[in-house]
């Protein structure tokens, strides 16, 4: 069974059809990439899955559950985490604090329990810390752990954004342009991390990315979008050699 299954999704903004009768599915354990020119509808697909946008039509199933029955703040509880094309972190908090925010969905204690810092709250906090420290180690963020986000280089903030999503312990990770703005070396690191996220952590990855080197390096399957619709789908090699894709990209 597919972990994520989208059928006949459509969303319009005024006269613009951002997503047009789009169907695709993501299997558990795979890295699935969405590529396409600017304005193709890639981020909109993520916003539909995250329930930020309400589709005009279509079905959205995650692990057999109807996503359309969820509100945006319930999607994370199902085990779907995302990063944003434009980094969304708390600038005036530390790396550690930002990653602890990523643990939000696992907090069980009531506000009163938290205020009085009861033993159960202490145990819970300990578990959150451990989970976050694991992510910090995994992403080599130790040198930055107590630094304020605002003062960090872009490349590091991009990694923290990935960390915040990972800290929530997702089953499905949505990465919106994980390599945008990164140097060649930073992109290489991102590639190893995405590989390890899938192989070591067993997390399914759905990503939007422009860097075809990264896409080919980590993806099992690729979906090429144009004007909100499916242009091609297959292995990275199949999609890159597809005449319709070449035409859309090169305008030939």
**What are the residues binding ligand ADP (CB under 6 A)?**
13, 16, 18, 36, 38-44
Closest to 26 in 3D by CA, of 171, 227, 177: 171
Report, in Å, the least distance between residue 13 CB and Mg ion: 14
- For residue 40, give Cα distances in angstroms to 55, 176, 178: 16, 13, 17
Nearer to ligand ADP, 42 or 157 (CB): 42
Report, in Å, the least distance between residue 49 CB and ligand ADP: 12
Asked if 165 contacts 80 with a C-beta cutoff of 8 angstroms, the reply is: no
Closest to 18 in 3D by CA, of 71, 52, 55: 55
Report, in Å, the least distance between residue 5 CB and ligand ADP: 20
Which residue's C-beta sits nearest to Mg ion?
43
The Cα–Cα gap between 133 and 144 comes to 12
Within 8 A by CB and 6+ apart from 39, the residues are none
Instruction: List the single partner that 26 binds among Mg ion, ligand ADP, none, CB under 5 to 8 Å by kind.
Output: none
Within 8 A by CB and 6+ apart from 186, the residues are 155, 158, 179
Within 8 A by CB and 6+ apart from 247, the residues are none
Instruction: List the single partner that 16 binds among Mg ion, ligand ADP, none, CB under 5 to 8 Å by kind.
Output: ligand ADP
Site for Mg ion in 48-107 (CB under 5 A): 85
Nearer to ligand ADP, 44 or 168 (CB): 44
Which three-class secondary structure state does DSSP give residue 141? Answer: coil
Nearer to ligand ADP, 36 or 178 (CB): 36
Nearer to ligand ADP, 15 or 64 (CB): 15
Instruction: List the single partner that 38 binds among Mg ion, ligand ADP, none, CB under 5 to 8 Å by kind.
Output: ligand ADP
Nearer to ligand ADP, 95 or 205 (CB): 205
The Cα–Cα gap between 203 and 195 comes to 10
- Dihedral sign from CA coordinates of 35, 7, 14, 229: positive
Report, in Å, the least distance between residue 32 CB and Mg ion: 16
Report, in Å, the least distance between residue 55 CB and ligand ADP: 13
Report, in Å, the least distance between residue 85 CB and Mg ion: 5
Nearer to ligand ADP, 103 or 158 (CB): 158
Q: Is 187 in the site for Mg ion (CB under 5 A)?
A: no
Q: Is 43 in the site for Mg ion (CB under 5 A)?
A: yes
Nearer to Mg ion, 43 or 168 (CB): 43
Give all strands of the β-sheet with 65-66 in edge-to-edge order.
16-27, 2-13, 57-62, 65-66
Residue ranges in contact with Mg ion by CB under 5 A: 42-43, 85
């Amino acid at each position: 069974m597919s972990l994520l299954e989208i059928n006949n999704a459509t969303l319009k903004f005024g006269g613009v059809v951002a997503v047009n009768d789009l169907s695709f599915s993501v299997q558990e354990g795979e890295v699935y990439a969405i590529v396409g020119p600017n304005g193709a509808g890639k981020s909109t697909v993520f916003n539909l899955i995250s329930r930020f946008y309400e589709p005009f039509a279509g079905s959205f199933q995650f692990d057999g559950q109807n996503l359309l029955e969820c509100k945006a703040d319930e999607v994370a509880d199902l085990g779907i985490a995302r990063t944003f094309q434009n980094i969304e972190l708390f600038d005036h908090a530390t790396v550690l604090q930002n990653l602890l925010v990523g643990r939000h969905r696992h907090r069980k204690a009531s506000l009163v329990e938290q205020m009085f810092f009861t033993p159960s709250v202490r145990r819970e906090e300990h578990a959150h810390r451990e989970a976050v420290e694991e992510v910090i180690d995994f992403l080599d963020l130790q040198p930055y752990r107590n630094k304020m986000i605002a003062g960090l280089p872009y490349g590091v903030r991009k990694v923290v954004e990935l960390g915040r999503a990972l800290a929530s312990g997702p089953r499905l990770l949505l990465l919106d342009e994980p390599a945008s703005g990164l140097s060649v070396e930073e992109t290489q690191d991102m590639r190893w991390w995405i590989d390890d996220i899938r192989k070591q952590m067993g997390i399914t990855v759905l990503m939007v990315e422009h860097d075809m080197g990264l896409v080919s390096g980590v993806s099992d399957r690729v979906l090429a979008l144009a004007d909100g619709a499916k242009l091609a789908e297959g292995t990275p090699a199949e999609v890159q050699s597809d005449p319709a894709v070449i035409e859309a990209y090169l305008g030939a």
